Structure formats: structure tokens, C-alpha cells
Structure 1
Amino acid sequence: MSPTLHLAQRPEADALLSRSPLAALVGMLLDQQVPMEWAFTGPFTIAERLGADDLDAHVIAGYDPEAFAALLAARPAVHRYPGSMAGRVQQLCRYLVEEYDGDAAAVWRDAAGGQELLDRLTALPGFGRQKAQIFLALLGKQFGVRPPGWREAAGPYGEEGSHRSVADITGPESLSRVRAYKQEAKRQAKAAKRAGTAG
């Protein structure tokens, strides 16, 4: 199943995310400390600067690290921290080359169950448990990758009808709802921190 993602909010960038498993993984990797749209536009920008229609794990893994960092740092930068993120993207691609012959979709293609898929995702460089659960939820909700127990393995992000993460964004309305959820979660976390300090 090929989804129609709306994470970059740019048609050409979203088209790449929708057809390229590696682009979706790289976008998820970049989705930290920058706005979501910026992160998920990153794979398209990288492909464009490499002069390619898609991302290739073998090409990125073998790229000169300094040249690749410069590629991500060129304006407009692919990330707020282009140097460190360039290293992480290359690390991810090297792992995919070593473990899956560069085939990103192989990470989830034959996973027998949700927990196995979660384990495979958390093994990816740059993917902590939360990021892995969000990506698992994205696979289940929008890519049709639904091994038994996928919702349970994705934790709260797998809940039907939730608006917690990128997994739930299918257009402008759901984007607004996810933003509102995240802002409220931040507000509650700050309030809890203040209450803890006061105590």
C-alpha cells in the first residue's frame, strides 16, 4: 500500500515520502528540534542536492562525511543542526546497508508481530523508543503495515482516532489537532514542573 502523506506540507516533498521508505525513515530521524514540515521536507532537499529522484542508502552511506555535512548545511539548511544530523543520516544508511542491503522497507516487510517490528525500529541508529513507536504507528495507520499487535507495540501513538503525532496527520485539520495536543502536553509538563519546584 502506497500512502499519500501530508507531513512536509509540500506536494513534491510529500510525494517522495509517500513512495520512498528510506525518505520516510530519514524524515522521521530529522523530526527533532525543528518544525515537523522542515524535518519532513529534508529528504526531498537531500535528494535534490544529490541530483537524484530518490534517496539511496548505498550512496549516502558511502558519501564523504564532510561533503555530506556541507550538502545539508547549504542554505536553506536541512536541519537546525545540519552537521550532527548529516552524521546521523549517514549512520542510519550505513546500518541499513549492513543489515538490510540498503532496503529500508525490509525493516518492516516481514516482521511477524508488532513487538518484533518495534525491536527492529528501536535498533535503527537515531531511533529511541518514542520515535520508533511513532514511526510504527505511522506504518500501521498510513502505510498499511499491520502485523499482529502493532497497535499495542506503538503504545498510545497506535490508538485509533488519536491526534498525538505525525502518524495521525492526514491533512490540515488533523495537523491542527496534533499541534493543539502537543501544545497542551507541553503546557501540562511545564505546570507539573512548576508544581514540583514549588513543592
Structure 2
Amino acid sequence: MAGDAEPGPSIRIAQDQRADEVLSQDPFALLVGMLLDQQFPMERAFAAPATVLERFGTLDPAAVAAADPEEFARLCSVPPAIHRFPGSMAGRIQDVARIVVERYDGDAARIWTGAADGADLLRRLQALPGFGRQKAQIFTALVAKQLGVTPDGWQQAAGDYALTGFRSVADVVDPDSLQQVRAHKQQLKRAAKAATADG
């Protein structure tokens, strides 16, 4: 590979060079990071694909889908585990891998690069196990803001996550933005708790 080749998009969500390289180079890794980003620190969720790669030897969706479920869950559970619920998340990773193989010929990037428009991208993402509407909106914003994938209507599909600011993992590009997104999430949690108490 030529030393002066154009570098690919540089994702810096995990705040770890090796983990962020994996996210930048492997679309399936980025998808898995987003899948794991719930009830778990953002940067650890997005560092997990590199851990799976290290332990399993590949992130090829076909290989992940075909892995023995018990063995795959075991390697995801070895400390440091890939998630606070490593067993169930290992199953979800395999489920997502199967869909990537069956519907997108094993190329996760086709989920977003092949979308007709923002609404289609949102539908494609919501069809994945573990991707509710909010997660699909955040990932739509992430591929737009950090990978430059901006199908028509992506802003409407992503909703408020399309806006400029520090609203979600889509806006994390360095340690400072990570802290600002975390502060925003904590503020929302406090507001939700206060609203429940008032109700």
C-alpha cells in the first residue's frame, strides 16, 4: 500500500487508537459498536469490535454468523467482557451478522451506501436486531456526519440527532466531544427523572 494513499475516514469514538482503526476500516465493526451502545459506556461499546476481532480472529459477518453460539458467547464474556450483558449481546451480534450476509452479501456498508433515501436507511437499520428507532436515527446521523453518507432526507430521518451540537455518539470526534455528549445524556436523564417525580 502506498505511503501517500488517502487515509480513510478516521472514527475516534473509542478513544483508543487500535479500536478506532478497526471502526474506521470495517463497516461491520461500526455497526456492532452501535449495537452495543446501550446501558454501557459509549467508548467501551465502540471499543468492543476490536476486542471481538482480537479474540475471534475476524469480523467477517459470514464467519461471525456461522460461529458456534456458545463458543462465541464465551469469547465475548471473557474479562474484559464486550458488554455488561455479553451473552445476550453475542447472540445479537450473530443475528445482525446473519442479516448482513443474507440481505447485503456480507457487506455491512451496503446498508447505508445502498439506501434510496434517509427514510429507506432508517427502515433498513430498524430491521436489524437491537436497533430501535432512536438507535437507527443516531446511526443515520453518525454515517452522515462522520462518513459523509448523506442520502436525501437524512436530516428528517435522523431528527434532532442531525443538528449541530453534542447530542449523541454521532458527534463524538475527540475526548472533549465525548465528555460533552456524556454531559448532555446525563442532563436528559436528570430531566426525565424530575418529570417522573413531578408526575
Query: 2:132, 2:181 → 1: CA distance?
Result: 21
Residue 75 of structure 2 is aligned to residue 83 of structure 1: no
CA contact (8 A) 1:28 1:135 kept: yes
Aligned to 2:3: none
**Structure 2 length normalisation: TM-score?**
0.94
Name whichever of 71-80 and 131-140 sits farther off. Answer: 71-80
Deviation at 1:19, TM superposition (A): 1.1
Q: Which residue of the other structure, out of 125, 131, 138, is the alignment partner of 1:134?
A: 138
Q: Which residue of 1 aligns with 2:39?
A: 33
Q: How much does 1:65 deviate?
A: 0.3
1:143 aligns to what?
A: 147
Aligned: 1:45 with 2:51: yes
Q: Which residue of 2 aligns with 1:111?
A: 115
Aligned-partner residue type, residue 55 of structure 2: R
CA distance in 2, matches of 1:110, 1:78: 29
**2:101 aligned residue:** 97
Q: 2: CA distance between counterparts of 1:180 and 1:73? A: 29
1:152 aligns with 2:136: no
Percent identical residues:
58
Aligned match of 2:169 in 145, 166, 185? Answer: 166
Residue 11 (structure 1) aligned with residue 17 (structure 2): yes
Q: Paired residue for 2:182, among 162, 176, 179?
A: 179
Q: Distance in 1 between matches of 2:9 and 2:197?
A: 42
CA drift at 1:173: 1.6
Q: Distance in 2 between matches of 1:20 and 1:27?
A: 11
CA offset digits 1:26-48 (Å, max 9, x no partner): 00001111111111111000000
Q: Which runs of 4+ in 1 moved over 2 A?
A: none
Alpha-carbon distance, 1:152 to partner: 1.1
Q: Deviations over 1:148-186 (max 9, x none)?
A: 111111011011x22110000111121121111111111
Q: Distance in 1 between matches of 2:191 and 2:8?
A: 37
Task: Assess if the C-alpha contact under 8 Å between 1:107 and 1:121 holds in 2.
Answer: yes
After TM superposition, the score normalised by the length of structure 1 is: 0.94
Name the SS of the counterpart of 1:154 in structure 2. helix
1:66 matched to 2:66: no
SS of equivalent residue, structure 2 residue 108? coil
**Aligned partners of 1:173 and 1:42: how far apart in 2?**
21
What are the ranges of 5 or more consecutive residues in structure 2 without an aligned counterpart?
1-6
Q: Which amino acid aligns with 1:43?
A: P
Offset of 1:110 from its aligned partner? 2.1
- The size of the alignment, in residue pairs, is 193
